[in-house]
Amino acid sequence: MENKNSRIRASNLKSPQRIALDDPLAVITDDIKAAFKRDGVVMLENALDPQWLLLLELGLQRVLNNSSQEKHLFFEGEEGEFIETIRNFEVIPEIRRLVYDSPVADLIGKLIGSENLWLYSDEFFIKKKGNAARTPWHQDTPYWPIQGNQIASAWISLDALTKAECLEYVAGSQRGLIYDGFNPSKVSEDPTHPHYDDSYPPLPDIEKTPR
């Protein structure tokens, strides 16, 4: 994460004009691909038909009602506690259909320039409005057993969000160092507690880094 890089909120990203949903891949223009290569993040607005979002919401409800689906708690027992669930597509049919039948995979493939994609995981983050702790700054890649440049995540919000609630990114940080991540099991004690040993450099204080 280079100091010269500006921070980007999802709500501030320039998005394309609304397109016909019968051609969702049209949203991936040359400018969008160039922005993704440069910044590591783009926002694709109106790229999914509302029916896919409804299916995703039904899948989320099934996850929450499934007592056998493992749920990880962040800031457990504290005000601001929130839930994470992973690999839902393995047991939730709605999520599996979204993964394999929706335009999401094709959108990512076109964005990164690959005809083949390998799914690592899917995740839900469930936070209560106005009462969720902020997720500490981090990079995803230190937590994943994968390497390379053709890696992408699709973030889909099921709720309308204020600017303060949107995801925030450090533009261009995908081209820099891989830093240590925060330790999820100790995040309530110390959000800066390292996840690994000294094999990764500690994450800089993003809030204090000059922009």
Quote the number of domains for the chain.
1
Structure tokens at 127: 């936070």
Structure tokens at 189: 């004690």
Choose between 79 and 55: higher pLDDT. Answer: 55
| Separation between Cα atoms, residue 31 and residue 20, nearest integer Å | 19
Residues in contact with 173: Cβ distance below 8 Å, sequence separation at least 6, in sequence order: 1, 2, 5, 40, 139
The pLDDT, as a whole number, for residue 13 is: 40
In a domain, 21, yes or no: yes
In a domain, 195, yes or no: no
In a domain, 208, yes or no: no
In a domain, 111, yes or no: yes
Whether 22 has a pLDDT exceeding 70, the answer reads no
The pLDDT, as a whole number, for residue 166 is: 84
Q: Provide φ and ψ at 9, rounded to 5°.
A: -100, 145
Residue 168: strand, helix, or coil: strand
- pLDDT tens digit string along 28-48? 999 999 999 999 999 998 889
In a domain, 133, yes or no: yes
Residues in contact with 208: Cβ distance below 8 Å, sequence separation at least 6, in sequence order: none
Q: How many helices (H) and strands (E) does the chain have?
A: 4, 5
Lowest mean pLDDT among 12-26, 49-63, 162-176: 12-26
Choose between 75 and 20: higher pLDDT. Answer: 75
In a domain, 196, yes or no: no
- pLDDT tens digit string along 123-178? 998 887 666 667 788 888 888 888 888 889 999 989 888 887 888 888 888 888 88
* CA dihedral over 144, 12, 74, 83, signed as positive or negative: negative
In a domain, 198, yes or no: no
Structure tokens at 23: 């051609």
**Residues of the domain holding 31:** 7-186
In a domain, 158, yes or no: yes
Chain center to CA of 164: 16
- pLDDT tens digit string along 70-126? 777 676 666 667 778 889 999 999 999 999 999 999 999 999 999 999 999 999 988
Parallel, antiparallel, or unpaired for β 72-74 and 7-9? Answer: unpaired
Predicted TM-score (pTM) above 0.85 = no
In sequence order, the β-bridge partners of residue 83 are 73, 126
Question: What's the angle, vertex CA 92, arms to CA 89 and CA 96, rounded to 5?
Answer: 45
Residue 15: strand, helix, or coil: coil
